[in-house]
Structure 1
Amino acid sequence: MSKTLLAPALQAQVAAVLVAAGSSPAEAEKVAGNLVLANLSGHDSHGVGMLPRYVDAVLEGGLSPNTGVKINLDIGSMLALDGQRGYGQVVGEQAMELGMARAKQHGSCIMTLGNAHHLGRIGHFAEMAVAQGLVSMHFVNVLSRPVVAPWGGADGRFGTNPCCIGVPLLGQEPFVLDFATSRFAQGKMRVAYNKGQQAEPGSLIDEHGNPTTDPGVVVVPQSNGLFGALMTFGEHKGYGMAVACELLGGALTGGGTWHRPTTTARSVYNGMLTVLIDPAKLGTQETFTEEARAFVESLRQGPAAPGVDHVQIAGEPERAMRVARAKEGITVDSQTWEEIRAAGQKVGLSVPA
């Protein structure tokens, strides 16, 4: 049976496993809080279901608890940082704090972060920036088993390579666009597989390169030991964006790109190029505020399509979901909960059934 918990209770369970896996209580709370926030936001793909993979990565030696970000270069408006294979939720926030301070000081900051373990929901970092009145752009690559096929290709050659843009809207909730360049995030396929659901047509190919709706082809090895692959969104356009994220998030940051034999290692590393801009320093704050408000209002004043309540902008669905799930609780399917319990047992902790 599935399990429904309120956010604080779920966070406590996850934090306990992380402490047992070697994290300090403070680090465990930060990572657990980030994972639960993803669930609250409706993105279960980046939520507590990632915990078993993190525990495996720690036990394999590919994820280093209690590790901070290392500064390789700091010239004010440019930062080059190394995550040193620490928890992405930790080193990612540390990197953002450094970058935002420089953007406030200089008006902008270009920041690279390489060798971070899984950064989680990239929208979290954009939300940090817009909360301080900053525009942020993030280009991210994924070093793990390649699960996305190039346009015209028949097997996985790169990761889900997310892109994220945050824009503060003075007097309104911000615009936060956060998306994988694949049709769906890999984690969404894991969630669908655990729930026994099918994927949408056009989003997957099997291990032979043929279209399929079975999410299992990218979750578990198939009969020949191979995996299928996700497709990019928008056909060749999403493919182009995925390649851009690989080059900017991987090659430019120094974290590396994916061009190696596939292994069974559970660690997953991200590189992220971040651009931060302070509109107040740009000299366009007044017109920016007015024009942004006018444009968003014009979107909302337009007629809604049949079956749609009202026109929204990026970030609104997540904020609405947080309100609902904070009240109703977060439901974790039975398979995912058993995987969490198994992860706890690996580090000597008994998680309630």
Structure 2
Amino acid sequence: MFEKGYVDGGYVRVPGEELFSFIVRVLLKLGVPEEHAKIVADNLLMADLRGIESHGVQRLKRYVDGILSGGININPRIEILREGPSYALIDGDEGLGQVVGQRAMSLAIEKAKDSGIGVVAVRNSNHYGIAGYYALMAAREGMIGISMTNSRPLVAPTGGVERFLGTNPIALAAPTKDKPFLLDMATSVVPIGKLEVYRRKNKPIPEGWAIDAGGNLTRDVEAVFNEGALLPLGGLGELFGGHKGYGLSLMVDILSGILSGGTWSRHVKNTNERKSEVDHFFMAINIEAFTPLEEFKERMTKMIDEIKSSKKHPDFERIWIHGEKGFLTQETRLKIGIPIYKKVLKELDEIADKIGVDRIGGV
């Protein structure tokens, strides 16, 4: 239980278990099976615990709207269409992306245990939350995990102004002797969720994130939502490598969409539309098939230690390793709660009232 009262610039801290419970009861009320509701809640909670506000509980409305509109199938028949010792193709039957994704990565892990590697492509799914959730599933099993997904068009290709690419994230996790290495990144400069955060706070976005409809760099978040576009990783043009982010985004579309027999970002729809056509790609690599697991962890740890102990730039206090900030943030938020922005909390209250469940905190 917590007392409402905004702190830290309009945020209120909510215990993680209360947030998890709220998500579950909302989804249960909408008819989602309990096991599936808990998978979605775990995914959203992990994002908020790790400080990825753009993919946490603020995404719940998207799923609620998708279920109410019929765009998300709450009882999907997830079907294996093709399968071999080290691969599978799955149809997600328009289910919740987290549920489809958890099933697919679990299958990839099982195949990797037997064959050394497991690759699972998925078509006909929905938004699956943070990519790192699935990569970490493999790392916890002593494997290297890779996860990626295409998404609706929000990003302009290098040399263009039209929304054509998705933010198409890529995640890779690998075990070490301590916390896993976790790279979890969009192939755009930022994910659209970050712009949604700035929009809620009525703040201008940093220059270099996006362009308006005419192709001009803009800090006006409304200009981006009004026929503007995000930029690929590397930014506008080729000078700082925008063409590389553009290429990485296409790589995700090839592995997630075209390989699976699904589609590519240009044709992916919103979650609340039927046949949103989101597609995923998962890979699990059994380290023991290549090298002893403990030796791999030792070498990973040594590499990380060497990087972190290398000479620092004068403007930086330390060198971070991918995933490290998230694990530290998670440890803190498990103790003191998760900061939820006031407009997000208001939105969650409205969801609770609309479908008839207790609000967060029972208020």
TM-score, normalised on structure 2? 0.88
Equivalent in 271, 276, 279 of residue 284 of structure 2:
276
Q: Which runs of 5+ in 2 are unaligned?
A: 1-5, 235-241
State the one-letter code of the partner of 2:46.
L
Output the amino acid matched with 1:32.
A
CA distance in 1, matches of 2:136, 2:209: 28
Matching residue's letter, 1:233: L
Give the counterpart letter for 2:213 in structure 1.
Answer: E
Deviation (angstroms), 1:32: 1.5
Q: Which moved more, 1:44-53 or 1:248-257?
A: 248-257
Q: Structure 1 CA distance, aligned partners of 2:273 and 2:347? A: 14
Amino acid at match of 1:274: F
Contact kept, 8 Å, 1:70 with 1:83, in 2: the verdict is yes
2:341 is aligned to 333
Picking from 122, 126, 130, the partner of 2:139 is 130
**Contact 1:53–1:266 under 8 Å retained in 2:** no
What SS class does the counterpart of residue 199 from structure 1 fall into?
Answer: coil
Structure 1, residues 252-283: CA drift from partner, whole Å, max 9, x if none? 11221134497794675531222221121124
Gap change, CA 1:313 and 1:261, over 3 Å in 2: closer
Shift of 1:286: 6.6
Match among 192, 195, 210 for residue 198 of structure 2: 192
Report the CA distance shift for 1:104/1:30 in structure 2 as closer, same or farther (over 3 A).
Answer: same
Contact 2:156 2:232 in 1 (8 A): yes
How far apart in 2 are the matches of 1:293 and 1:350?
A: 45
For residue 242 of structure 1, the aligned residue among 246, 249, 253 is 249
2:281 & 2:150 partners in 1: Cα distance? Answer: 9
User: RMSD value over aligned CA atoms?
Assistant: 2.2
Instruction: Tell me, yes or no, if structure 1 residue 255 matches structure 2 residue 262.
Output: yes
Q: Is the 8 A contact 2:167 2:186 kept in 1?
A: yes
Cα distance change of structure 1 residues 71 and 117 upon mapping to structure 2, 3 Å threshold: same
Provide the TM-score with structure 1 as the length reference: 0.90
Out of 302-311 and 121-130, give the one that drifted further. Answer: 302-311
For residue 9 of structure 1, report the CA deviation from its aligned partner: 1.0
Is 2:184 aligned against 1:175? no
In structure 2, relative to structure 1, the CA distance for the partners of 1:21 and 1:207 (3 Å cut) is: farther
Q: Which residue type is aligned with residue 175 of structure 1?
A: F
Are residues 264 and 103 of structure 1, via their aligned partners in 2, closer, same or farther at CA, if it must alter by over 3 Å? closer
Q: Could you say which residue in structure 1 is the equivalent of 2:239?
A: none
Answer yes or no: is 1:109 the counterpart of 2:118: yes
Alignment of 1:53-64 (within 5 A): 53-64=62-73
Q: Distance in 2 between matches of 1:264 and 1:135?
A: 30
Q: Secondary structure at the match of 1:72?
A: strand
Percent of aligned pairs with the same residue? 32
Q: What secondary structure sits across from 2:123 in the alignment?
A: strand
Code of the aligned partner of 1:50: R
- Candidates 7, 15, 24, aligned match of 1:6: 15
Alignment match of 2:158 (pick from 124, 137, 151): 151
Question: Counterparts of 1:294 and 1:206 in 2: how far apart (Å)?
Answer: 45
Gaps of 5+ in 1: none
Q: Secondary structure at the residue paired with 1:344? A: helix
Aligned 8 A contact 2:29 2:357 in 1 = yes
1:100 alignment partner AA: I
**Match for 2:75 among 48, 66, 77?**
66
Work out the number of aligned pairs and report it. Answer: 344
2:103 to 71, 94, 109: 94
Shift of 1:56: 0.8
